[in-house]
Structure 1
Amino acid sequence: GMMTNWATVSQSIRRLRELEARMEGEEVGQLTKKEVLQLTRERDKLEMTLGGIKEMGGLPDMLFVIDTNKEAIAVEEANRLNIPVIAIVDSNATPDGVDYVIPGNDDAMRAISFYCELAQAAVLDGLQTEMMATGVDAGGAAEAPVETAVAADAPAEEVAAEAAAAEAAPAEEAPAETPASEAPAAEAPAEDAVKVEGATDEGAAAS
């Protein structure tokens, strides 16, 4: 009776949220141990029965059922509320009341996990398609600030690169002064000329 009695169920969900807020707030420190124990038990009981649907904002738009025999009441409620039903129908189950029948094994855990993964992927694809149709791009909006930050940092990187180039330039120009050390090689012919002249003078004296 969860769907057909949604008004009462929604009140219980609201009560569960109130208890969670009280237990997480500062008010719990002002309560006695007995009061805290009572609130904790009430919260745990509601969490056990409603924890799986407390995030629902209302009745589901569609029902996905694994075992139609076990969930026959849920299928009946969905039919009463005109909620479409997608179900995995095994050979021992009846397709009555199921709008979209998927023949398959509803007993093996691996098969059930596979069905749930496919259903999850289909829901996410549908939501993404709907967002794109309405012009909403959550992924692009989330990445935009990162791109802006990178663009803002670009001038600083260029300045650092120019500074590094300026520091490297004097180091490259330093070898230009090295010809001074090569000067003796350039003056070597003059010394040879002196030696030749000395040899000529000695030859003249000998003659």
Structure 2
Amino acid sequence: VTQRWLGGLLTNFDSVSNTWKHLIELDEQINDKDGFEKLSTRDQYLLLKEQEKLEKLVGGLRGLDDLPGMIFIVDVKREQTALEEAAKVGIPVVALVDTNADPRLVTYPIPGNDDGIKSIEIITQNIVDSIIEGDKPAKTEKKETKAAKPKKTSKK
């Protein structure tokens, strides 16, 4: 999520996913130069304004087809709604936890300063690097599994 947490993002995922699917449709409509240019200036403006609004709300969710397997929270106190929703649907939470937050609410707390930009950058980069590194073996296994499957032959 790039701006603020949308209430119901995890607990009402189907509805929220329809919103970002609508954003994708808007993008396609705007990028269709022939169709877009045929619209009145007012209609073009309204489409662009709606696209901008939806981009802020759900732009960071593109490509999320299902509930995430984990969420990472930088400021537990500020993102209390996200923490509660994750608990309701059983999604583990990795979070940067400062002294002003309760670490018992977080599945995997990372003690650290959630107010300092440099601290957030360092920890977030380490999380990203770990996810990328952990994803490599999974992708390799998928390729090997596909290659190892024998092709079906028809009986004559």
- Find out whether 1:28 has 2:40 as its counterpart: no
Letter in 1 for 2:75: D
Which has the larger share of helix?
Answer: 1
Task: Determine the C-alpha separation between the residues in 2 that align with 1:131 and 1:55.
Answer: 17
Q: Give identity over the alignment, percent.
A: 33
Q: Secondary structure at the match of 1:52?
A: helix
**Which position in structure 2 is the counterpart of 1:60?**
68
| Cα deviations by residue, 1:148-204 (Å, 9 ceiling, x for unpaired) | xxxxxxxxxxxxxxxxxxxxxxxxxxxxxxxxxxxxxxxxxxxxxxxxxxxxxxxxx
Deviation, 1:29, is 1.8
- Find out whether 1:99 has 2:107 as its counterpart: yes
**Which position in structure 2 is the counterpart of 1:86?**
94
Change over 3 Å in CA distance of 1:41–1:4 after alignment to 2: same
Count of residues in Structure 1 that have an aligned counterpart in Structure 2: 136
**Which position in structure 1 is the counterpart of 2:25?**
18
Task: Determine the C-alpha separation between the residues in 2 that align with 1:7 and 1:64.
Answer: 21
Deviation, 1:78, is 0.3
Letter in 1 for 2:139: M
Letter in 1 for 2:109: V
Runs (5+) with no aligned partner, structure 1: 137-207
Runs (5+) with no aligned partner, structure 2: 1-6, 145-156
Q: Secondary structure at the match of 2:61?
A: coil
Task: Determine the C-alpha separation between the residues in 1 that align with 2:29 and 2:58.
Answer: 18
2:140 aligned to 102, 109, 132, which one?
132
Task: Determine the C-alpha separation between the residues in 2 that align with 1:124 and 1:76.
Answer: 27
**Which position in structure 2 is the counterpart of 1:177?**
none
Task: Determine the C-alpha separation between the residues in 1 that align with 2:109 and 2:42.
Answer: 52
| Cα deviations by residue, 1:125-158 (Å, 9 ceiling, x for unpaired) | 111021233345xxxxxxxxxxxxxxxxxxxxxx
Letter in 1 for 2:15: T
**Which position in structure 1 is the counterpart of 2:45?**
37
Scaled by the length of structure 1, what TM-score is found? 0.63
Q: Secondary structure at the match of 1:134?
A: helix
**Which position in structure 2 is the counterpart of 1:187?**
none
Task: Determine the C-alpha separation between the residues in 1 that align with 2:39 and 2:140.
Answer: 50
Task: Determine the C-alpha separation between the residues in 1 that align with 2:99 and 2:136.
Answer: 34
Runs of 4+ in 1 over 4 A off after TM superposition: none
Task: Determine the C-alpha separation between the residues in 2 that align with 1:127 and 1:24.
Answer: 33
**Which position in structure 1 is the counterpart of 2:116?**
108
Task: Determine the C-alpha separation between the residues in 2 that align with 1:84 and 1:13.
Answer: 23
Q: Secondary structure at the match of 1:67?
A: coil
Letter in 1 for 2:117: M
Cα root mean square deviation, aligned: 1.3
Scaled by the length of structure 2, what TM-score is found? 0.82
